[in-house]
Amino acid sequence: MKRTAIDLADGRELIYFDENDDAVRDQPDRRDLPPPPPASQLRYDPLTDEWVAVAVHRQTRTFLPPANECPLDPSVGDRLTEIPAPDYDVVVFENRFPSLSGRVADEPGEITPFTPVRPGVGRCEVVCFTSDHNASFASLPPRRVRTVLDALADRTEVLGELPGVEQVFCFENRGVEIGVTLHHPHGQIYAYPFVTPRTRALLAAARRHAERTGGGNLYADVLAAERATGDRVVTENDHWTAFVPAAARWPFEVHVAPRRVVPDIPALSDSERDAFGPLYLDLLRRFDGLFDMPMPYIAAWHQAPVRIDRELGHLHLQLFSIRRAKDKLKYLAGSESGMGVFINDISPERAAELLRAA
């Protein structure tokens, strides 16, 4: 894989990840762009012990443009996009409308004595999986999945070394039902200046388990139990297991985990990276086959924080959909949104059975 970094017209970084070492990436960005916005504002919620990002500039971000105006397509002729090249394999670039960035303008302060405020330091990047606007991740060849995984490993390492970054989150949103604003197949990477609430909860449970068991890894033990039972395993190979969690929150939710305990994507071996693609592509096609239609989903990589508690983590990909039937979506209503208590309409065992048969 060849890695080539360039600067866009407004100073943001773009990186080409090419599968051929002879790729030449010398096309300049010919657009006239305004400077990128300053970092968002982080406000602390003392009632939940959580940080909330206020990023008012994102209100003007691109929203469902027609196909001939997609900013993630390659640049061709006078149609200039975020990617200057006329074709590409995988591209990563700084988001033009970031929730987090290193462009700090405001100093820390407070709204009230209980609500401190600080700049939203970090970074948000866009990952384009292919130059083909009409493709999907499920339609990629295994070699391209490996390139995407290598790109995510590269970015996890680089972003984790930025001052103030505590966690790197790689994810893909698919489908307007999920909230996608660009149809081109792409994902995103957030480099947070704090450990996220979900990860803090996972680490707290893992820490309690390690103390009870004399150092056992909670996720590894859960994975071993799921593999031993087999009721909720959808598919597996020599390196990865895809299973529906016994307490799944979403109608169709699958965890894809390496058998070996690793903290993050960069720690995966070459064999593990090669084995991921065929299994994951099979799983995505099962999702699409459930109702014979493109399945809306979120694919979220859970990685250990970059500075603390890395021994407690266990890398895994959480793939889930809000679709519970061909004509029905799972809405986060009163119990889920108000109290954080999920109510699942489909048993995890039934979901696994349907996915195995898809």
The string of DSSP letters for 314-351 reads --EEEEEESEEETTEE----IIIIII-----SS-HHHH
Q: Please tell me the distance from the alpha carbon of residue 101 to that of residue 318, in angstroms, as a whole number.
A: 26
Q: Please tell me the distance from the alpha carbon of residue 167 to that of residue 148, in angstroms, as a whole number.
A: 19
Per residue in 23-40, pLDDT (tens digit) is: 999 999 999 999 999 999
What class has domain 2-194? Answer: alpha beta
User: What is the pLDDT confidence band of residue 106, given thresholds at 50, 70 and 90?
Assistant: confident
Task: Reduce the DSSP state of residue 180 to 3 states and report it.
Answer: coil
Per-residue pLDDT, averaged over 89-101, amounts to: 97
Count the neighbouring beta carbons within 10 Å of the beta carbon of residue 274: 16
Cβ contact 125:97 at 8 Å? no
Catalytic residue among 186, 255, 302, 316: 186
Task: Reduce the DSSP state of residue 354 to 3 states and report it.
Answer: helix
Cβ contact 116:44 at 8 Å? yes
Domain 2-194 and domain 198-357 have a common topology: yes
**One-letter identity of residue 131:** S
Per residue in 175-186, pLDDT (tens digit) is: 999 999 999 999
Per-residue pLDDT, averaged over 301-326, amounts to: 97
Q: Where are the domains of the chain?
A: 2-194, 198-357
More confident residue, 105 or 175: 175
Q: Please tell me the distance from the alpha carbon of residue 62 to that of residue 70, in angstroms, as a whole number.
A: 9
More confident residue, 285 or 107: 285
Per-residue pLDDT, averaged over 342-346, amounts to: 97
Task: Reduce the DSSP state of residue 169 to 3 states and report it.
Answer: strand
Q: Is 316 a catalytic residue?
A: no
What class has domain 198-357? Answer: alpha beta
